[in-house]
Structure 1
């Protein structure tokens, strides 16, 4: 009977065969302990000389790291391991004997590991981060599907910028200029006018020359957009969504969180509602914390966000930023037009902004004014203006950065470990 490590609990007391790689091994006299992995999980195989015979046992003791095998044996319960099961090996077949595997159990430098990312992914902790990433994606689809959203795929090649910045990757689209998308938001607004509640999930690109632990050149965004919803409605969706994702990881990734030594007690507190602080109050809080150089009208950097987050044990919304430092499409507060109806969601523990969202401008004349102020009067934005011309409605949306969210929930320091093959300022390999 062939099975996988993830399924062995169904076969206690039975003999099964698993295709696996040898992660590590140790031997003690007449017993060899084989640390096996098969992609679905990690498990110990116990090879006993008396059961295997001299030749096979010597072969087991000589197995090299990352050799591939078919391993056969009886599954037994093992209360000493967090996994709870092990295999009593009765036979194995070598598929390929690996030679001189470059990533050994010793310490390696970050650049070495990044150069060998295609192999580093096999390690226990990197495997755990990828499993948590997968669970966040699964829970994302679950949340939006259960709440009546339609997934719409935004284009990756665009003729314009969503944020009005110059930090774009330029390419030629036959005889036209084109850019790699930095956001699917504008297209999601169009889709929301057709389908009500939508979300996109795809890669985005920022040509920022940044080397911080929070930045990638290529990253993935979840971007919902909702017709007939105001800013407060959107904040409620955001906190419910993030709560759902965190609780799903806690429920379904226990072994992975344990492999990462993640303190799950801090994650157990992540349940809606989340605290909210206005930009005005955040500036005052920062001054009280010693950031005397911060002035109203300035954007917050990573140290500011971390200092604000330290006052809370849940993610915190910073609301109503000055219009001057936010995107052209954000709706001004009717009571105070110098600020916009927006919020950034700041994760605890120094992980920074994981969501940016706002209510969008729905007034045609105001959007025309914004076009002139931001020099967006060309043909590239004509279609976006028409969304306000034909049946405009209040609508709101947000974008969640997947990799920062994975980093926060996993507890890993740098976002480069939260995507299979990271693209960084000086890294396009492997």
Structure 2
């Protein structure tokens, strides 16, 4: 019976055939152990000299790391293994001998591993991170489909910038200037006026010259927008969504979390509702924690976000930032014009902001004024202003950065491990 490692639980005490790669091996006298992987998972293959032909045992002893094989054997339960099963191998068919595989079981430096990212992905740790990433994506579609959202795909090439032009990649679009998208939000607002509740999931690009563990040049965003939705309702959607994906990972990626050594007790606490503090309260809290230099009107950096998050066991919303710190499209608080109806969601354990969201300006004249204040070309935003001229309604949305969320949930230190092929300030290879 041909199967995969992920499906061997169906064939206990039965013979199966699996296409695999050799992740590692060891042997001692009359028994050999092969650590096998097939993309769906990892399993130990046991070859006992007395139970197989001599050539099979010699192949097992001599096979090299990352060689590809077909193995045939009997599935047994194994309580000592986190996976719960092992394969007693009877036959080995070599597909391809791997020679001098560069990533050995010894320690390698980060730059070496990044240069070999196309191979590093095969490791057990990277496999676990990618499986968690996949589960977050799967759960994202499930959550929004269950809650009446329609998937819409905004363009990647745009003629204007939703948050200014300082962090954009520019290109020529025939005879015009164009930019790689830094957010699909403005287009999602148009989609929300047509379809009510929408979400996008796609790549975004920021030409920010940052080398921190939280930043990538190319990353993926989940961006919902909702018509007839005001500030508080927007926050409720966010906390329910984040709770949903965390619980989905706990349920469906238990083995991967064990592989990564993740403290799952911290994730088990991530259920809605989440705590909320205002920007004003956050400034006070930071002063209490010894950050005397930060003043009202300053933006928060990574140390500030970490210090604020340390006061909470769940993600925390920081709301009502100063208008001067935020983009032109955010709705001012009707009771206090110097702050906007926005929130950043800060993850625990030092992972920083994972969501930025707000209620959007829905008044035509106010939006025009905000565009002018930000010295943006009104002609380029003519279509965006027209969303307010033809049936404007209160509407809200947010953007969740996938890679930061994967880093937090999986417990890895740097976002470069959370995307298959990271684009960093000084890295475009492989």
TM-score > 0.5, shorter chain as reference:
yes
Per-residue CA shift, 1:252-275, capped at 9, x if unaligned?
Answer: 000000000000000000000000
Q: Name the structure 2 match of 1:235.
A: 235
Q: Name the structure 2 match of 1:174.
A: 174
Q: CA deviation at 1:58?
A: 1.2
Matches of 1:109 and 1:311, distance apart in 2: 34
Q: Name the structure 2 match of 1:273.
A: 273
Per-residue CA shift, 1:352-404, capped at 9, x if unaligned?
Answer: 00000000000111111112111224321100000000000000000000000
Provide TM-score, normalisation by structure 1. Answer: 0.99
Per-residue CA shift, 1:205-236, capped at 9, x if unaligned?
Answer: 00000000000000000000000000100000
1:5 aligns with 2:5: yes
Matches of 1:298 and 1:40, distance apart in 2: 47
Is there any run of 5+ residues in structure 2 with no aligned partner, and where?
A: none
Q: Name the structure 2 match of 1:184.
A: 184
1:411 aligns with 2:417: no
Check the 8 A contact 2:113/2:120 in 1, yes or no: yes
Per-residue CA shift, 1:283-328, capped at 9, x if unaligned?
Answer: 0000010000000001000000000000000000000000001000
Q: Alignment partner of 1:9: what SS?
A: helix
Matches of 1:153 and 1:55, distance apart in 2: 55
Q: Name the structure 1 match of 2:114.
A: 114
Q: Name the structure 2 match of 1:423.
A: 423
Check the 8 A contact 2:228/2:393 in 1, yes or no: yes
Matches of 1:371 and 1:115, distance apart in 2: 43
Q: CA deviation at 1:55?
A: 2.2
Q: Matches of residues 8-407 of structure 1 in structure 2 within 5 Å?
A: 8-407=8-407
Q: CA deviation at 1:53?
A: 2.1
Check the 8 A contact 2:372/2:378 in 1, yes or no: no
Q: CA deviation at 1:92?
A: 0.8
Larger mean Cα displacement after TM superposition, 159-168 or 182-191: 159-168
Q: CA deviation at 1:16?
A: 0.7
Matches of 1:184 and 1:388, distance apart in 2: 18
Per-residue CA shift, 1:113-147, capped at 9, x if unaligned?
Answer: 00000000000000000000000000000000000
Q: Alignment partner of 2:119: what SS?
A: helix
Provide TM-score, normalisation by structure 2. Answer: 0.99
Superposition RMSD in Å: 0.6
Matches of 1:173 and 1:366, distance apart in 2: 31
Is there any run of 5+ residues in structure 1 with no aligned partner, and where?
A: none
Q: Alignment partner of 2:127: what SS?
A: helix
Q: CA deviation at 1:164?
A: 1.8
Q: Alignment partner of 1:284: what SS?
A: helix
Give aligned pairs, total: 430
Q: Alignment partner of 1:328: what SS?
A: coil
